[in-house]
Structure 1
Amino acid sequence: MSSGSEPRTPRTSFSIADILGPCMIPRRPSVSQPPESNQGPTSPLCALEELTSKTFRGLDGHTPQPSEGRAAPGALGSGRAGRRRRKSRTAFTAQQVLELERRFVFQKYLAPSERDGLAARLGLANAQVVTWFQNRRAKLKRDVEEMRADLASLRSLSPEAQCRLALPDGAPGLGPGPARPDSELHLSDEEIQVDD
């Protein structure tokens, strides 16, 4: 070490010194710019650029080395240095879906003992059954909201337009004249029975 330079200490990517310290981003020299020497930060933007480059290094396939100021994977104890991989999507068989749907028609929520029995019978994990029921309830809720929106838009139509939508082409009562009162379409909430 020369007497004019300060000893380098490893820094973490979130330390104040690392964020506000000199820009250490290796840059390719352009034709118009001479290569940079190790200068101090020119602006807070430089420090932000350094921080973001360290954060996103893993996205371009570069794995940070411990000598670059980061702890080695596993050194922090959790082993979650990289991005956590999602579990692959479960492909349910047609028989499993049929049984799950059959059960869902009668029961939107399962007790733990019922869930355990169903999972064992279908050869699934409890978590898969729980997730399937959660997703199915969410789908039911979306479908009900969509039906209610459709019903509201139908109610906004004139009775003649409702009648034209309700009767098939060529059916009696579709003449150019006004619709007869007995052929009007009457919609009510009672016609759509869905448990919320």
Structure 2
Amino acid sequence: MTRAMESWSVLDVSHNRISDVPDKMVAPNKDLVLLDHNPVTILSLIEAGMGPDIPPTLFDLPIREASFTQNLITFVPADVAQWAPTLERLTLARNLITHDMLPEEMTALTNMWELDISSNPLSTPGAHDVPDVIFRLPKVHALSLVCTGLHTLSPKIWEMANINVLELKFNRDLPALPALSEAALAK
């Protein structure tokens, strides 16, 4: 972003043919970014200073890939379900999302095959560290839980039918993997 752009508070690029949004286009100093009526399918908002939530207007776009890496996001709003028809990849790495801040509505993301929630403080005392909603994501093939402070892992992880990439590295307080459940053995 240029020095001149840093002072802009509104960016209206509605009704164009823009198909992706560059990094830092949505920044803390932007009061309003209008992307309506553009074929935006890739949204990359890495280090955009966004938080504590994702702006609701972004859920109106037919996003296929969304990256919110290294922001100040503390929760994912229920509006994420609006991306159900199109979203395939969601990256929420390096934010402040805790165990109970992923909504049940995420299970509507039936086309999502990759979820990266690495480097978020998921660990919650007295509970399995991975939020239960994760186990109910229907088509996730790749799940990254790198450096999330995991202490325990539910056996439900083995019941995720479509997983073929599971990243658990750098969870130094995770003493062991869970035993295989009867349901997992039956699959």
Q: TM-score w.r.t. structure 2 length? A: 0.20
More helix by proportion, 1 or 2?
Answer: 1
More strand by proportion, 1 or 2?
Answer: 2
Q: TM-score w.r.t. structure 1 length? A: 0.19
